Amino acid sequence: MEIRIKRVYTKPAQSDGYRVLVDRIWPRGVSKDEAHLDDWMKDVAPSSKLRKWFNHDPDRWNEFKHRYFDELEDKSEKLHVLRNKAKTGRITLVYSAKDEEHNNAVALKEYLS
């Protein structure tokens, strides 16, 4: 499986493969045409409650992943789709957070791998 992650504000590339936005909220300042997405899976994003609690605080990263992974247990159908896409080609999990090391796409990639 080849899974990449990329900020939505970074220029899309042909090599991205299947591009899927994994944020619950649409990114500010980006049109749907500019995003060049194949899908938007807001259902696999962290809950609003968890997202607000985490607030991209690196000190909460490990606990965030633990709680997020618990939430993902109920999303097996959507995750199955992502895993199947990754088995047949490259997928890119697209996100909008400024922090490139501590965000839900990084955690989701870890969970899927």
User: CB of 91 within 8 A of CB of 82?
Assistant: yes
At 7, give phi and psi (nearest 5°): -70, 145
**What is the Cα–Cα distance from 106 to 69, expressed in whole angstroms?**
12
pTM: 0.94
pLDDT band (50, 70, 90) for residue 28: very high
**Residues found in the chain:** 113
Mean pLDDT of 7-26: 96
pLDDT digits 0-9 by tens, 49-105: 999 999 999 999 999 999 999 999 999 999 999 999 999 999 999 999 999 999 999
Residue 89 CB-density burial (10 A; 0-12 exposed, 13-18 middle, 19+ buried): exposed
Q: Give me the pLDDT at residue 33, please.
A: 92
Domain boundaries, the chain: 3-112
Give the pLDDT band of residue 31 (cuts 50, 70, 90): very high
Please report the pLDDT score of residue 1 as a whole number.
81
Contact between residue 9 and residue 96 where contact means Cβ atoms under 8 Å apart: yes
